[in-house]
Amino acid sequence: MPYELYYWDGLQGRGEFVRLALEYAGAEYVDVARTEPGMKTMLKTLGSKTERYPPFAPPFLKDGDLIIPHVANILFYLGPKLGLAPADESLRAIANGLQLTITDMVAEVHDTHHPIATGLYYEDQKTEAKARAGDFISNRMPKFLAYFESVLTRNGGKHIIGGGLGYVDLSLFQLYEGLRYAFPRATRHFAKDYEALSALHGSVKRRKPIADYLKSERRLPFNESGIFRHYAELDQEP
């Protein structure tokens, strides 16, 4: 039975971190909300009164009857099944820690355009977004990326943990790609500032399953409904 991924249609968003793992591993999956009547099915699950453990929000994964919510949780679950997690259990806990640091950074990226309220339009919190994005570019982004660069480097540079490319590496690819889309000016020295991350990003991009996926219709383009949004006024020199 194929995995069922549930995430909003029309944007990469947080669902993309799961998609990349499924695509890289060549796993059979259905991107439910992009089928008919998938959106309805997803909303029904979210609002279910009978499901014992309904998810709070997308993305969530269905594997048979089991519903697993939260990106890091989904990847922790899928990792060993897809051959994208370390064999050693202690290392899996560390991989999960790295993934949760990515989760934190992604939440901060989201808040660069929505610092006041998720339910309001960007246009209604633009001034505050400028302040938050400025702090993100000057302080938070370098702090997070220097950390990932450093862990990646001390593990040889080819993958951040374990003996081969894993789900954390695929998420780092997406993070790097997303930041470059959202902040082309702020990220223009990335190749020099984060050599190992840049090399990892290139290496993931060239791998056949990922290269094929990126060319396919299954990969939506970045846009201003997702996490990584390009608003020129939020971008600035690094």
Per DSSP, what are the bridge partners of residue 5?
31, 61
> Is position 96 an interface residue for its own copies (rule: CB under 8 A)?
yes
Which of the stretches 37-45, 96-104, 171-179, 226-234 binds its own copies when contact is defined by CB under 8 A?
96-104
Strand ranges of the sheet holding 66-69, from the earlier edge strand across to the other edge:
29-31, 3-6, 60-63, 66-69
> Is position 218 an interface residue for its own copies (rule: CB under 8 A)?
no
> Is position 87 an interface residue for its own copies (rule: CB under 8 A)?
no
> Is position 93 an interface residue for its own copies (rule: CB under 8 A)?
yes
Burial of 165 (0-12, 13-18, 19+ CB in 10 A): buried
Q: Which helix (H) or strand (E) holds 62?
A: strand 60-63
Q: How far apart are CA 4 and CA 7, in angstroms?
A: 10
Per DSSP, what are the bridge partners of residue 15?
none
> Is position 139 an interface residue for its own copies (rule: CB under 8 A)?
yes
Report cis status (omega within 30 of 0) of the bond before 209.
no
Task: Please give the residues from 5 up to 44 whose contact with its own copies meets the rule CB under 8 A.
Answer: none
CB-wise, 49 or 206, nearer to its own copies? Answer: 49
CB-wise, 32 or 210, nearer to its own copies? Answer: 32
How far apart are CB 116 and its own copies at their closest, in Å? 5
* Contact mark string toward its own copies, 115..134, x via CB under 8 A: xxxxxx----x--x--xx--
Q: How far apart are CA 67 and CA 52, in angstroms?
A: 10
Q: How many CA atoms lie within 13 A of 120 on its CB side?
A: 13
> Is position 72 an interface residue for its own copies (rule: CB under 8 A)?
yes
Packing angle between helix 126-135 and helix 89-113, nearest 10 degrees?
A: 140
CB-wise, 52 or 208, nearer to its own copies? Answer: 52
CB-wise, 150 or 225, nearer to its own copies? Answer: 150
Chain positions contacting its own copies, by CB under 8 A: 49, 52-57, 60, 66-70, 72-73, 76-77, 90, 93-94, 96-98, 100-101, 104, 107, 111, 115-120, 125, 128, 131-132, 135, 139-140, 144, 147, 150-151, 154-155, 161
